[in-house]
Structure 1
Amino acid sequence: MLFYPTWAGDELHRLIYRNLEKLADSLDGHVLEYFKDNEAVTEDNCPTKEIKGYKCVLDSKATEDNWAKLARWEPAHGSFSFKHPWKQYLKIGASMRSCAYCIEALSSCMESETQTVTYYYGQTPAGIGQLKKHLSNACKTTNKYSSGILRELAKTIKTMTKSSDMGSLVWEMNNAVQELQNSLKSVPIGLIAPTPEDTDDGRGESFITPVVEVLPVTTLASLLIENAARINGIVDAVNELAGQVDMKPAPQENSKQYKPSPDTPH
């Protein structure tokens, strides 16, 4: 009869990279659902279970702490040496929870908009629809690289090899954030304030409500920007782990099929 021990270090290792994958799925689910056909999320098109993955990350601190305490007393096994820096996994977990809290705020923002639209309007007001259309591409692009980085970090930890694509992905995400900030600054004035013609014609009051209507959309965009900054924090924590365990570069043939844009620095 053979016995296969359950190593705490293995469990902690799997928990961390799986939580990174859940964060990526959750972020994708929220953003793609929100901008689906430029309509607000409703009960009829409720998100899949993956969209709630951030909750698993928020609830995993106690488990991470317990596995880390046990792992420090384990003998060397598998690819983990006796002095493997298990405490660094806790730093990565803390950085992930910071990101998960941001996604939680994003989720609350979406739910608030849904309740407002359902209660007051019954359908998406023109102000929300126009602003979503204005910000859609920039938000989706920021999300694309943000979730891509989370998945690449998960693969880095899972395989214990450095990613050859991480530098390009981070550059693309930060560039997308800048584009999103520019899009926020260039919001059409007609969405947030009456024009002189509207005021002269006595239609200025119709623009008082849109200020409130569009607030959830701009808040969501701002949360995506904040979330990108927090993802950079996860990148730093994983890079620190890579240095502590002397990770080797991933084989080129196994690296993610990612092609940087012509402007991406090498």
Structure 2
Amino acid sequence: MESSHIISITNGEENNNNIAHMKKEKTTQFPLPPIVSHHGKNKIHSSFVPITSYLKDNKEIKNECDIKKMIHCIKVGISLVLVSLLYILNPLFDQVGENAMWAIMTVVVIFESSAGATLGKGINRGIGTIVGGGIGCLAAILAQNIGGVGNSIFIATSVYIIGSMATYFRLVPKIKNRYDYGVVVFMLTFNLVVVSGSRPGVKVWEVARERLLTILMGFIVCICVSLFVFPMWASDELHYSILSTFQDLANTIQGCLEECSKSVKEKENQADASFTICKSVLNSKSKDESLANFAKWEPWHGKFGFSYPWEKYLKIGEVLRELAALILALESCIRASKKPTSCWKSSKTVQFEQCEAIGSRLVWTLREIGDNMKQMKKCEEVDSIMAKLKSTREELSLVISTSMIAEFENGEVLAIASLVFLLMEVVEKVEELVKEVKELGDMARFRTRVTSESS
């Protein structure tokens, strides 16, 4: 008897493969076929929402990026105008004098597109300036007291020791990831202060104090503009980027299954978009790490509080990249050979509909856990989902049996075995994703959410 389950899943636009789409909510009906038994007692009704045009999605992404670039340019211009008032207005210029140039330099150097990046560079610059200036002042005063040839020897020795130690710390991975810019500013400030302040009659403390105040003014201007004028958060960008990856990979798996039922000509016309999506996911590591680093500097805003587990986002992103590599291999395997598809469809032992049902289960699971992350809610049915994924792996292990090997030629058996093996690897990665999202929910204290899946 034919049976199917209708699942209501909160989804974005038809192809939620960009950050803009993730911010829009839309409810669609997704027919979820049950996992068929090896004996074929249930028939499969697989219906997929067609994937929207890849060029259209690229255009929307480009438009949003252009808007962000324009906002960033306007904010930088506002900051430069405000900090230039230190030079333009006579009352302010009388207070800071030529040191106002340090405030302008600070704005140019530390202002970034996201609030977290600006705050992180600003704090690094401030700490590096304070520590480097303080140690540099002490070294310059000691050099002045020594005098004579000892003055030059002491300065050269201190510059060598401090420069070597600072460079060593820059090579430590944990320091390099978050404080590299601060260490660079420390070395620069120390050398400027200790060399310029070693001359007799130079008021080292006074020079250091004035420069620190002007740098602080530039930092305050940057932070105020970045946080209060159309703020752009690195945490939001990372969050929606991970969510869009879930949807992209789900759509790619869906596209792979659809290609198996189409002609070679149609496959060639539709495969490029899927390949491009997977390749973009594989190249997302450096971007995710940068966004996570910036997000750690950001203050409490919206749904993200202090000490939010951004490291878990990096772990989820790593698993998603591994899944993308498997999907890319799966798609390449499908495109490389037309025989497995025809064999699966014609064979009495190996039913192609079984793998379609398994694929639809994977698509639904990716969209479901992605939706959990989007709504920041826990799923109470995690154990049930894991149990069904486990049964899915058992289903795949029965697809190829000893009795069916004699029905095909060696090349056909190898091709079919390769596809089944890749599908099993994809199922294992989806299981790992479910576990990682569950751990994220526990660490971030997501609210409880009951999944809409019917058993």
* Secondary structure of 2:303's aligned partner: coil
**1:215-234 correspondence to structure 2 within 5 Å:** 215-234=414-433
Aligned-pair identity in percent equals 28
2:369 is the counterpart of 1:163: no
For 1:149, the aligned partner's letter is T
Q: Which runs of 5 or more structure 1 residues have no equivalent in the other structure?
A: 118-123, 193-209, 261-266
Distance in 2 (CA, whole Å) between partners of 1:103 and 1:132 is 27
Question: What do the CA deviations read for 1:227-254 (whole angstroms, capped 9, x no partner)?
Answer: 101111111111111111111112x5xx
* Secondary structure of 1:152's aligned partner: helix
Distance in 1 (CA, whole Å) between partners of 2:279 and 2:349 is 29
2:438 to 229, 239, 259: 239
Normalised by the size of structure 1, how large is the TM-score?
0.77
For 1:231, the aligned partner's letter is V
Residue 15 of structure 1 and its aligned partner are, at CA, apart by 0.4
2:454 to 259, 263, 266: 259
* Secondary structure of 1:21's aligned partner: helix
Alignment match, 1:43: 265
- Report the structure number with the largest CA radius of gyration: 2
Asked if 1 retains the 8 angstrom alpha-carbon contact of 2:344 and 2:351, the reply is: no
Residue 12 of structure 1 and its aligned partner are, at CA, apart by 0.2
Alignment match, 2:150: none
Alignment match, 1:98: 322
2:364 to 131, 143, 148: 148
Normalised by the size of structure 2, how large is the TM-score?
0.46
2:296 to 47, 72, 75: 72
What is the count of residue pairs matched by the alignment?
Answer: 227
For 1:97, the aligned partner's letter is R
For 2:231, the aligned partner's letter is P
Distance in 1 (CA, whole Å) between partners of 2:341 and 2:251 is 29
For 2:429, the aligned partner's letter is R
Residue 128 of structure 1 and its aligned partner are, at CA, apart by 6.1
Distance in 1 (CA, whole Å) between partners of 2:356 and 2:349 is 11
Runs of 4+ in 1 over 6 A off after TM superposition: none
Question: What do the CA deviations read for 1:157-197 (whole angstroms, capped 9, x no partner)?
Answer: 111001234333332222122122112125524423xxxxx
Q: Which runs of 5 or more structure 2 residues have no equivalent in the other structure?
A: 1-224
2:239 to 13, 18, 23: 13
Distance in 1 (CA, whole Å) between partners of 2:454 and 2:341 is 39
Alignment match, 2:447: 248
Distance in 2 (CA, whole Å) between partners of 1:134 and 1:22 is 29
Residue 104 of structure 1 and its aligned partner are, at CA, apart by 1.0
Asked if 2 retains the 8 angstrom alpha-carbon contact of 1:57 and 1:100, the reply is: yes
Question: What do the CA deviations read for 1:110-139 (whole angstroms, capped 9, x no partner)?
Answer: 12214xx6xxxxxx8975653598241221
CA separation of 1:125 and 1:31: change in aligned 2, threshold 3 A: closer
CA separation of 1:158 and 1:213: change in aligned 2, threshold 3 A: same
